[in-house]
Amino acid sequence: MANKPTPKKSAVTETTAAETSKTTKKRAAKKAAGAKAKAAAGTATAAPTKATPAPPAPETTAKPLLPRIRAGEETAALRPMPLVHAFTRAEPSTTVTAPPESMAQPAPARKAKPTPKPKPAPAPAAEPSAKAPEQPTTSRDRGPEPEPTPEDRPDSGYQPEPEPHPEPQHEPPPPSAYHEHRPSLFIVQITPEMAPVAKVGGLADVVFGLSRELAIRGNHVEIILPKYDTLRYDHIYELHEVYRDLWVPWYEGAVHCTVYFGFVHDRKCFFIEPHSHDNFFNRGGIYGFADDVFRYAFFSRAAMEFLWKAGKHPDIIHCHDWQTALVPVFLYEFYQQLGMTHPRVCLTIHNYKHQGVTGAELLRATGLHQPERFFDRLRMGDNTHKNALNLLKAGVVYSNFITTVSPRYAFETKDGGQGFGLEPTLHTHHMKYGGVVNGIDYDVWNPEVDHHLPVPYGVDNIDAKYDNKRALRHRLMLADNEKPIVAFIGRLDPQKGLDLVRHAIFYSLEHGAQFVLLGSSPDQQINNDFWGLKHMLNDSPDCHLEIGFDEDLSHLIYAGADIMLVPSQFEPCGLTQLIALRYGTIPVVRTVGGLADTVFDKDFSDRPLHERNGYRFDNYDPPGLESALGRAIDCYYQFPEHFRELMKNAMRSDYSWNHPGQDYLNIYDFIRNR
C-alpha cells in the first residue's frame, strides 16, 4: 500500500467536538478504540508545486459579445443563441455560454432607420403561425401605438393606480468600476430562495453568487424574496419597513402586504410579507405545502405589484424556476398595459422536474380571467394534462430569454427526454434558450479563507487539507486511519441517485474507504430509510450518516473528504462537485447534465492531463458506479502522486461566477437590444 499523508496534528477545538450529535457520541468509545487500533503511519506525499489557483479576475476588458440590433433588423439578425454551446466542449475554466462567433458578427447589412429605437421583445413568442399577444410599448420606444384590443386587455377587474414611489434612499450608488466598458443595468431578481437566509438547494446559492458578481461588474442589483418566518434573520442587516401598504390583487379583492428592506451580506433585498389568513409564508418551512402553487403565484404578483407601485423600472427582471415563472405573464398581461414597458425578463430553470401544474382556480386567483386564452397550449396549457395549467411552461413562453444551468442540461431537456413534458415548448422557443453553468461564490467557498475550517489551505499548502480531514474524523468520531473518505452531500431526493448512494456506502466500506453522508429530505419515508441505514451502520468506525441540514458541517466535509460522490439520475448543474473541486476533493460523478460539463475523467477524458479533475461513469447501475469509484479509491492507494495532481487540477480550475456572470450580462444585453 502506498504512502498516504498522515495528519500532523488534530486541529479540532473543544467547540467542534461538542457539536457532535448525540447518536454519534454513543458510539464514541467504540470508535475511539477502532481509531487507535487503526491509526496509520505514513508521510505526506510529494510537496505541492508552486502553482497558484487562478483568482476570479475582474472583467476589465469585458465587452458585450452580441451585436446591437437595430429596430427593424431583429428578425433577420437573431440566431439561436447559447444552445449552440451545448454541443461544444466547454473549457474547464471557461464554461462560457456566450454566443458563438457567428453571433458576434454584425447584423446583415441593412440600412438602419435614422432614429432606431429598441423594440420590446415579443412576449409569448409562440410558434410563428400562432398569434402572439399584443406588446404595448411606450411612446418613447416606438411612438404612438394602437390601443390594445379588448381581447388583450387584462381582465382582472382591478386597475391599480399608478403610484410611483421613490426608491429607498439608503442604498449606495452602484459601483462604477466597469462603467467605461458597458452601461450599468438595473437588475431585479425575483426568487423563492437566496442563501443563506432562505436556502433549500442550489438555486439559493446561485441567486446569492450571481447577484454579487453582477454588482461587482457595476450593475445595480436588487432581490425580492418572500418574508418567510424561517428566514435566517441573523444574516439580515438593517431590516426595516419600506412600503407599509402594498395591496396585491388576489381573487376579487386585494391582500394587504408590507415590504421590508435589508442587506444580506451586501445584497440589497426586499422581503414581502402578506397579511392574510392564508398565512402564505409563515409555515415553518419553505416548500411542501398543498397550496404551494398559489403561495408562489401570489408572491410573483406581489413582487410585480411592488415594482410597479414603487416606481421601479428595471432593465432586467431575472426570475427563477416555476415559483416565479408567472412574473413575465403578469408583466405582459397586466403591467405593460399600465406603462411598465421597459423591463425584459430572463427566466432561469434550475430543475425541470418541478413545474407548478395546477387547475383553473389559479386564473381566478390571479386575475387572468380568460380560460380559453390561458389554457391554450401555446401559452400556459400543460402539454400532458389537458385541463391543467403549467406555470413553468408559461415562464418559457412569456420570458424574453430562458436559461438552464448547464449547456448539457439544455440539450438534455430539449432533445434528450429530460424536459418532463416541456420538450415541444422548448423546441418552439429554442431561439431564446441556452445553458450557463453555475458558478460558486468564492467568498463563501474558498478553503484559503473559509472560517468554518480549523486549518485553511490552498493549492500551495495542500497538506493542510489533511488537518481538516482529521478534524472531520474527530467531529464525526470516525477512526483516524489511512483510508480515504468518500462523501455525499445533498438533498435525499431520488434525483440524486439514492440507491447508488446506498450501494456506494457498502462498496466504500468493503474497499478500504470511509463514508460520510450529509443529507435530508422533506419525504419522511426517505428520511426513515436513511435513519434505518444509520442505525445499521452505527457501530462502524468508518461510517457516519448525518441526516439533516448543516451548512457548517458541509464546509468541513468538503475540506476533509478525499472523494465527493455525485451519482445523480439527472443533474441540471450540481454545485457539490464544483465546491468539491474548489476544496481539492475529487468528484466521482455520473455523466449527466452539469456534471458532464464540469468533471473530466482522469483516465478516459480526451482533455489534456492538467484539465482532468475527477472520475465519471455513464450507466446508472452499481457496476457503473463501481467502475468510477473503484478507480478513484485505487488511485488514492496505488498512485498517490497522481491523486495529488488531480487534486491540484481540481483546485486550479475556475468555477467562480466570473465567466457565468459575463454570460448572463451577454444575455441581458441580447434581450435588451432586441
Which residues of the shown chain bind ligand ADP in the complex (CB under 6 A)?
201-203, 205, 489-491, 518-520, 549-551, 554, 573-576
* Between 174 and 490, CB nearer to ligand ADP: 490
Question: Cβ of residue 576: shortest distance to ligand ADP, in angstroms?
Answer: 4
Nearest distance, CB of residue 377 and ligand ADP, angstroms: 29
- CB of 574 or CB of 614, closer to ligand ADP: 574
Smallest separation, CB 421 to ligand ADP (Å) = 19
Q: How many CB atoms lie within 10 A of CB 236?
A: 19
Residue 206 Cβ vs ligand ADP, minimum distance, rounded to whole Å = 8
Residue 283 backbone dihedrals phi, psi, to 5 degrees:
-120, 5
Please report which helix (H) or strand (E) contains residue 30, including its range.
helix 28-38
Q: Which is nearer to ligand ADP, 259 or 286 (CB)?
A: 286
At residue 55, what is the residue type? P
CB 569, min distance to ligand ADP, A = 11
Quickly list DSSP for 42-66: ----S---S--PPP----TT----S
The smaller minimum CB distance to ligand ADP, of residues 126 and 487, is found at: 487
Walk across the sheet containing 253-264 and list its strands: 236-250, 253-264, 267-274, 220-226, 186-190, 316-320, 344-349, 401-404, 433-435
Alpha helices in 369-487 (DSSP H): 371-374, 391-398, 407-415, 423-428, 465-476
What is the Cα–Cα distance from 629 to 665, expressed in whole angstroms? 38
CB of 625 to ligand ADP, least distance (A): 18
Spatial neighbors of 537 by CB under 8 A, at least 6 apart, are 505, 509, 543, 545
The string of DSSP letters for 637-663 reads: HH-HHHHHHHHHHHHHS--SSHHHHHH
The residue behind cell 457503473 is 624
Cβ pair 425, 383 in contact under 8 A: yes
User: Closest CB to ligand ADP among 256 and 452?
Assistant: 452
Work out how close the CB of 551 gets to ligand ADP at its nearest, in angstroms, rounded to a whole number: 5
Q: What grid cell was written down for 9? A: 496534528
Nearer to ligand ADP, 64 or 519 (CB): 519
Which residue is closest to ligand ADP by CB? 202
What H or E segment, with its residue span, contains residue 455?
none
Decide whether 298 or 442 has the Cβ nearer to ligand ADP.
Answer: 442
Nearer to ligand ADP, 205 or 482 (CB): 205
Q: Where are the alpha helices (DSSP H) in 87-240?
A: 101-104, 139-142, 202-216
User: What is the nearest approach in angstroms of ligand ADP to the Cβ of residue 493?
Assistant: 7
Residue 565 C-beta: closest distance to ligand ADP, Å: 12
Please give the grid coordinates belonging to residue 428. 418552439
Distance between CA atoms of residues 420 and 412, nearest Å? 11
Q: Min. distance of Cβ 193 from ligand ADP in angstroms?
A: 9
Q: Which cell is 98 given?
A: 456566450
Whole-angstrom Cα distance, residue 33 to residue 139?
79
DSSP secondary structure letter of residue 491: E
From the CB of 87, what's the least distance to ligand ADP, in Å?
23
Nearer to ligand ADP, 289 or 549 (CB): 549
Closer residue to ligand ADP, CB minimum distance, 373 or 408: 408
For residues 342 and 408, which CB has a smaller minimum distance to ligand ADP in the complex?
Answer: 408
d(CA 146, CA 526): 57
User: DSSP string of 292-313?
Assistant: HHHHHHHHHHHHHHHHHHTT--
Sign of the alpha-carbon dihedral angle for 67, 73, 79, 80: positive
Phi, psi values for residue 629, rounded to 5° = -65, -40
Tell me, rounded to whole angstroms, the distance of Cα 392 from its chain centroid. 16
Q: Residue 220 or 491: which CB sits closer to ligand ADP?
A: 491
Q: Let me know: does 213 contact 660? Beta carbons within 8 Å.
A: yes
In the bound state with ligand ADP, the residue whose beta carbon lies nearer, of 309 and 350, is 350
Minimum distance of ligand ADP from residue 195's CB (angstroms): 8
Q: How far is the CB of 649 from ligand ADP (least distance, A)?
A: 21
Quote the CA–CA distance of 587 and 567 in Å, as a whole number: 10
Q: At what angle do helices 292-309 and 391-398 cross, to 10 degrees?
A: 30
Of 202 and 314, CB closest to ligand ADP: 202
**What is the smallest separation between the CB atom of 479 and ligand ADP, expressed in angstroms?**
23
Cβ at position 348, least distance to ligand ADP in Å: 12
Q: Is 376 or 529 the residue whose CB approaches ligand ADP more closely?
A: 529
Report the interhelical angle of 202-216 vs 658-672 (nearest 10°).
Answer: 80
